[in-house]
Amino acid sequence: MCGIVAYLGKKQAYPILLKGLKRLEYRGYDSAGVALIDETLTVYKKKGKVQDLETFIGERSTAGSIGIGHTRWATHGKPDDINAHPHISSNGRLVLVHNGIIENYGLLKEALKKTGHSFETQTDTEVLVNLIEEIQKTDNLALEEAVRVALTKVRGAYAIVVMDKNDPDKLVAARKSSPLVVGVGDDGFYLASDGTPIVEHTRKVVYLKDEEIVTLTRSGEMDIKTISNEIQHPFIQELEFEIETIEKGGYDYFMLKEINEQPATIRECLRGRLNADEGWIKLSGVDNLVNKLLNADRFIIVGCGTSWHAGLIAEYLFEDFVRIPVEVEYASEFRYRNPIISERDIVFAISQSGETADTLAALELAKEKGASIYGVVNVVGSSIARITDEGSYIHAGPEIGVASTKAFTGQVTLLTMIALTLANKKGTISNAYYRQLITELEQIPNKVQQVLEKNAQIEFIAKEIMDAPNALYLGRGYNFPVALEGALKLKEISYIHAEGYPAAEMKHGPIALIDENMPVIVMATNRSAYEKIISNIQEVKARGGRVIAIISEGDKEIKEIADYTIEIPETEEPLTPLISVIPLQLLSYHIALMRGCNVDQPRNLAKSVTVE
C-alpha cells in the first residue's frame, strides 16, 4: 500500500525512480510523484497512474543523481495532484515520501501551525515533513537526528525517505510497520518498499527493521540507528527472486500470468518437502515446533481476504486430520474483541505479502499473550515472517496482480502439508490414507494444468454472464471457502456484486434473490454431499436461476440439469480446493476483461495493505 523508491549515487536518478515506480504500482496507483535534486529541488506530482506522471513530465528537466519517488493509495486526503507525494516542508528545504498513517497528525498539525507552519494538503505526510523541519531548525540538528527525534513524537505506521535540498549527498529513511529495503549497489544506494525495483541493479539488500533509521551518503556510508539512538550493524542479504518473475513474460496481465503459473508454483511449494514414493513430508518449521503443535489446546488462524479463505480451508484440514479445535479469525476483528489466548494456543498467520497491518497487529497481541506463532507467508524476509516463532514460505514468487491467485493455492498446499504431517505424527490418520493423500497431492500440479486448458470454455461462459449485476457462489464442505474466494475474485476485479454461501444456507435467505438474471456458480464436486448439491441446483433451477456448475470429470447427472458445466479432474475431497478454485479465477479474469476493467489494478484496491 503505497510504493516508495529512492536512489543516491553515480547514475541519473529519474529513470531508476520511474521504472521502480512502475514495478511498485501494484501497491497503489491513484497518484504518483518524484523529487530530484540537481542544482535545485524539482518536484513533479500527478493524479493517476505512473504513466500519467511520465507523460506530464515529458521533456521537462529530470537531472539529478539523488531522488525519491512515490506511488500512492490515498488514506488522508483525496487522490489529486496536491495530495500526491513527495511533500515539501514549509521552508522548501525538506522533501519526503511516506507509506503508512501518522495517527496523531491532527495534534501535531495544530502545534506546528502555532509555530508558523502552513499546510497546503490534507495529508498526514505534510505534517511529518514539517515536524522534521521544525526540529531540524529549532535544535540545529543534522537531518538524520531531526528525523530520529521527530519519529519519537509520532504514533502510527511509516516507511519514509527524506532529502534535504541543502545536502544533495544524503538520504535518510526509516520504517515502522511498513516495509523498506536498502539496495547496496556498486554505483550507489537504492531504497524501495520491496525488492522489485532493486533487483535489476543489485542483489545485495538490507531489510530495515521496525524503528530503524538509515542514513546513506554519496561517499558510500550506511549508518543504521534505532529511534532510541542505538547503533545497529547492517545485515546484508541476497535478493532471492529472478527478474523474469516480476515481468509479464508475454501475458497481457500479471493476473493471467500468475493463474497460469500455478502448476509450477504448487510444484515449487512441494519441492524437497514431500516425497510420495517414500511417503514423507518434511517441513523444518513444523519439526522445530513439533511438541507445541502436537500438544496445542487450539489452533487460531488469522489472516485477511483471500488469505483468510485459505485459513478456512485449513480449519477443515486441521480438524479433519489433526483433531485439534480450530478458530479462524479475521485479523482485523481479532485484536479488538479481547480474545482469549493462552500459551498452549498456536496462532497460524497466513499472508501473501507478510506486511498486512491487521495481521501484524493480531500477531503482536497473540505474542503478548504468550501464544506461539507459525507463519505461512510468501514474501521472504517480510515483517510477518520475522515476527513468527516458526513458519514455512509458500515459494510462489512475487505476486504482482492485486487479486491474489497463486498465493492462495500456495497457502492451501502448504497448509495441507502441515495438516498431513501433524496428523501422521499424531497418529490421527491411517498410514494408508496418509500415503494416498500425499500421492494425490503430488499430482495436483498436473491436474491444475488440465483445468487451465479449459480456458476457452471458461471464456465462453464468462461472455454469457458478464452483464449480470449480481452473482451467487455456493459450495459445501471443503468447497465452501472456495465459493467465498470465487465471489471475492469476481467482485474485486469486475465490480459485480457477488456473495459466497454454504450451499445449504441458500434456502435460509439468499434464495429470495434468485431470478433469471442471477448466475449461480455451484461447486459440485463433493462426493460426500453429492445428492444434497443436486437438490440445491434443482432449487435454483426451479426459480429460474442460471447454474454454472463446477463438476467432476464424467459427471453426467449434473450436466443434464445445469446450464453450463466446467469439468475438473477428480481428486481426494480434501484436496479439491486446489483445483476447483482455478476455473473461478479464470471466470473472474475473463468477465473483468470483457467489462473493460483493469484486472491487475482494480479501482480503490492496492496490494499489501499496510494500514489498519
Instruction: Show which residues are catalytic.
Output: 2, 607
* Interface with ligand F6R, residue 591, by CB under 6 A: no
How far is Cα 526 from Cα 127, in angstroms, rounded to an integer?
A: 56
Region near ligand F6R per CB under 6 A, out of 59-67, 348-356, 524-532, 560-568? 348-356
* Interface with ligand F6R, residue 304, by CB under 6 A: yes
Segment holding 589, helix H or strand E: helix 577-594
Given a contact cutoff of 8 angstroms between Cβ atoms, the answer to whether 263 and 455 are in contact is no
Rounded to a whole number of angstroms, the minimum distance from the CB of residue 580 to ligand F6R is 17
Strands 390-393 and 372-377, by their bridges, are parallel
**Burial (CB count <10 Å: 0-12, 13-18, 19+), residue 423:** buried
Rounded to a whole number of angstroms, the minimum distance from the CB of residue 589 to ligand F6R is 12
What cell numbers appear for 327 in the block?
A: 478458530
Greatest Cα-to-Cα distance within the chain, rounded to the nearest angstrom: 80
**Cα dihedral: 152, 153, 158, 159 (round 10):** -50
Count of Cβ atoms closer than 10 Å to residue 219 Cβ: 7
Q: How would DSSP label each residue in 505-568?
A: GGGGTGGGG-STT-EEEEEE--STTHHHHHHHHHHHHHTT-EEEEEEETT-HHHHHHSSEEEEE
Region near ligand F6R per CB under 6 A, out of 54-62, 78-86, 304-312, 437-445? 304-312
User: By CB under 6 A, what part of segment 41-60 binds ligand F6R?
Assistant: none
* Interface with ligand F6R, residue 265, by CB under 6 A: no
φ and ψ of 170, to 5 deg = -145, 140
Size of the site for ligand F6R (CB under 6 A): 15
| Residue number closest to ligand F6R, CB atom | 305
φ and ψ of 229, to 5 deg = 75, 30
* 3 state SS of 217: strand
Nearest to ligand F6R of 130, 306 (CB atom): 306
How far is Cα 198 from Cα 192, in angstroms, rounded to an integer?
A: 7
Nearest to ligand F6R of 351, 494 (CB atom): 351
Nearest to ligand F6R of 322, 357 (CB atom): 357
Nearest to ligand F6R of 44, 334 (CB atom): 334
Strands 546-552 and 564-568, by their bridges, are parallel
Region near ligand F6R per CB under 6 A, out of 159-167, 352-360, 432-440, 465-473? 352-360
Nearest to ligand F6R of 306, 413 (CB atom): 306
Rounded to a whole number of angstroms, the minimum distance from the CB of residue 303 to ligand F6R is 6
Rounded to a whole number of angstroms, the minimum distance from the CB of residue 481 to ligand F6R is 13
* Interface with ligand F6R, residue 329, by CB under 6 A: no
Q: Which of 260, 356, 421, 526 binds ligand F6R (CB under 6 A)?
A: 356
Q: Which of 262, 351, 413, 576 binds ligand F6R (CB under 6 A)?
A: 351
* Interface with ligand F6R, residue 307, by CB under 6 A: yes
Nearest to ligand F6R of 270, 376 (CB atom): 376
Give Cα 425 to chain centroid, integer Å: 32
Helix axes 262-270, 406-426, angle to 10 degrees: 30
How far is Cα 511 from Cα 540, in angstroms, rounded to an integer?
A: 8
Rounded to a whole number of angstroms, the minimum distance from the CB of residue 515 to ligand F6R is 29
* Interface with ligand F6R, residue 305, by CB under 6 A: yes
* Interface with ligand F6R, residue 352, by CB under 6 A: yes
Strands laid side by side in the 345-351 sheet: 326-330, 298-303, 345-351, 372-377, 390-393
E-strand stretches of 280-360: 280-281, 298-303, 326-330, 345-351
Nearest to ligand F6R of 310, 540 (CB atom): 310
**Cα dihedral: 331, 337, 343, 347 (round 10):** -10
Segment holding 482, helix H or strand E: helix 480-494
**Burial (CB count <10 Å: 0-12, 13-18, 19+), residue 607:** buried
* 3 state SS of 220: coil
Rounded to a whole number of angstroms, the minimum distance from the CB of residue 338 to ligand F6R is 23
Which of 219, 218, 224, 191 lies closest to 205 in space, CA to CA?
A: 191
Region near ligand F6R per CB under 6 A, out of 138-146, 349-357, 470-478, 561-569? 349-357
Nearest to ligand F6R of 136, 356 (CB atom): 356
How far is Cα 185 from Cα 534, in angstroms, rounded to an integer?
A: 61
User: By CB under 6 A, what part of segment 593-612 binds ligand F6R?
Assistant: 608-609
How far is Cα 156 from Cα 141, in angstroms, rounded to an integer?
A: 24
Taking residues 467 to 506 in sequence order and writing x for each that binds ligand F6R by CB under 6 A, - otherwise, the string is: ---------------------x---x--------------
Region near ligand F6R per CB under 6 A, out of 105-113, 302-310, 318-326, 464-472? 302-310
User: By CB under 6 A, what part of segment 399-418 binds ligand F6R?
Assistant: 403-404
Region near ligand F6R per CB under 6 A, out of 41-49, 222-230, 301-309, 572-580? 301-309
Which of 278, 279, 272 lies closest to 420 in space, CA to CA?
A: 279
Rounded to a whole number of angstroms, the minimum distance from the CB of residue 399 to ligand F6R is 8
E-strand stretches of 19-149: 31-37, 41-47, 66-72, 87-88, 94-102
* Interface with ligand F6R, residue 99, by CB under 6 A: no
Region near ligand F6R per CB under 6 A, out of 332-340, 346-354, 447-455, 458-466? 346-354
Region near ligand F6R per CB under 6 A, out of 217-225, 300-308, 460-468, 549-557? 300-308
How far is Cα 371 from Cα 239, in angstroms, rounded to an integer?
A: 31
Q: Which of 359, 494, 576, 610 binds ligand F6R (CB under 6 A)?
A: 359
Rounded to a whole number of angstroms, the minimum distance from the CB of residue 382 to ligand F6R is 9
Q: Which of 265, 306, 413, 588 binds ligand F6R (CB under 6 A)?
A: 306
Nearest to ligand F6R of 308, 564 (CB atom): 308
* Interface with ligand F6R, residue 385, by CB under 6 A: no
Rounded to a whole number of angstroms, the minimum distance from the CB of residue 492 to ligand F6R is 6
Nearest to ligand F6R of 224, 266 (CB atom): 266
**Interacting residues toward ligand F6R by CB under 6 A:** 304-307, 351-353, 356, 359, 403-404, 488, 492, 608-609
